[in-house]
Amino acid sequence: MSAVKLEAIVCHEPDESELSHFSDNGSKNKNVVFQLLDQKSSERRWLSERFLRWRRRYLPVDGDNRRDHGSVKQSGPLVSGAAYCVSSCSMIILNKIVLSSYNFNAGISLMLYQNLISCLVVAVLDISGVVSVEKFNWKLIRVWMPVNVIFVGMLVSGMYSLKYINVAMVTILKNATNIITAIGEVYMFRKRQNNKVWAAMFMMIISAISGGITDLTFDAVGYTWQLANCFLTACYSLTLRRVMDKAKQSTKSGSLNEVSMVLLNNLLSLPFGIILVILLGEWRYVISTDVTKDAMFWVVATASGFLGLAISFTSMWFLHQTGPTTYSLVGSLNKVPISLAGLVLFNVPLSLPNLFSILFGLFAGVVFARAKMS
């Protein structure tokens, strides 16, 4: 029975003309009217009950549907946040293992290998239809080139700083990136910072200076690389914000999603990486060193490449599930387990003043994130 017919049967009511016609024929016809009404009423009840049974069996109940949707909505930020934190922590730890524990002295080559893995994975995902990547053109490449040059410098300086400095101090010194970015926002975008932000940045400066003074494993070369990394990271963030609109206008669709940016950055970094490896002579070291003959070294290096891409995807996922405010706060809190893991796993010599400086720097990072929210 079709839905239209079902509605016609269930909703039909006898009109006044039918009742008046029957009332003119006496009491006998009245009985006929009551019988017809009883018959129609019983038919309506039967069809209504049958329709309700069918609905309960094949259609989801509103309450159950809301409950399922609510559970997914509640678990989404938790799962995405955990994935982002785990991938971020693991990436830094694995890079430290490759550069320090294996004593691998070719940071640019490691960056080149990791970016190559990222390009291959994104290409496979694009071909399989899992992700959508924008088609690149020369106009977009010319617009994006300054961003990519800074991106390569940021990765290279980060690799070398991590080789010479312990993970905890790298994490604390990275707070300088927030300071440079905030100052850049004032001059480039005329964005005013509130007093809480400036107070948090002052706390970061104190923690960085005290941490460097009390660092038992202080290395001037490593600190120089880290300061360069902070400056380049801030420049990358500010330049990306300025170039983004122009880059979107350079595409055919007028948009540029995060996956396309990940592929574009990593793809354009490959020729720069190859040129630097040749000019600095790293290719001779990579060929001759015994480290590259160790299978476990390649396992760890490959895993770090996958984790680098995982950070990009999980950060986008987490940002989509929550928002910039929560993302920023969790990013600051995530420095705590990274610092503690770095101190424990690599058996870093530590003094009480240095530990206090590290904890104070972590606290300053959280205060900064909270201040940016207000």
Closest CA to 115 of 310, 300, 270: 270
Q: Phi, psi (5° rounding) for residue 191?
A: -95, 125
Helix 258-279 to helix 138-164 angle (10° resolution) is 60
C-alpha span between 255 and 135 (Å, rounded): 11
Length of the chain counted residue by residue: 374
What pLDDT shows up at residue 168?
87
String of DSSP letters for 24-90: TTHHHHHHHHHHHHHHHHHHHHHHHHHHHHHHHHHS--HHHHHHHHHHHHHHHHHHHHHHHHHHHHH
Look up residue 94 and give its amino acid: L
C-alpha span between 66 and 372 (Å, rounded): 34
C-alpha span between 79 and 86 (Å, rounded): 11
Contact 94, 304 (CB under 8 A): yes
What pLDDT shows up at residue 51?
46
Per residue in 251-279, pLDDT (tens digit) is 888 888 878 888 998 999 999 999 999 99
Closest CA to 154 of 225, 240, 260: 225
Contacts of 54 (CB under 8 A, 6+ apart): none
> The tokens 């606290």 sit on which residue?
363
Burial of 169 (0-12, 13-18, 19+ CB in 10 A): buried
Q: How is residue 109 written in tokens?
A: 């080559």
C-alpha span between 167 and 171 (Å, rounded): 6
Look up residue 309 and give its amino acid: L
What pLDDT shows up at residue 323?
60
Q: H-type helices in 165-194, by residue range?
A: 167-173, 175-188
Q: Which H or E element spans position 314?
A: helix 295-321
Look up residue 252 and give its amino acid: K
pTM over 0.85: no
C-alpha span between 188 and 238 (Å, rounded): 8
Q: Which whole-number Å values give the CA distances from 324 to 74, 83, 153, 369, 373, in the listed order?
A: 18, 17, 26, 10, 9
Burial of 160 (0-12, 13-18, 19+ CB in 10 A): buried
Query: Per-residue b/e over 355-365, b at no fewer than 16 CB within 10 Å?
Result: eebbbbbbbbb
What pLDDT shows up at residue 269?
93
What pLDDT shows up at residue 193?
76
Compute the Cα dihedral for 92, 315, 250, 248 and give only its sign. negative
The list of the chain residues with pLDDT below 70 reads: 1-75, 316, 319, 322-329, 332, 373-374
Q: Which whole-number Å values give the CA distances from 179 to 42, 167, 183, 233, 372, in the listed order?
A: 78, 20, 6, 11, 12
Closest CA to 228 of 104, 107, 54: 107
C-alpha span between 323 and 13 (Å, rounded): 55
What pLDDT shows up at residue 361?
85
Q: How is residue 206 written in tokens?
A: 């104190």
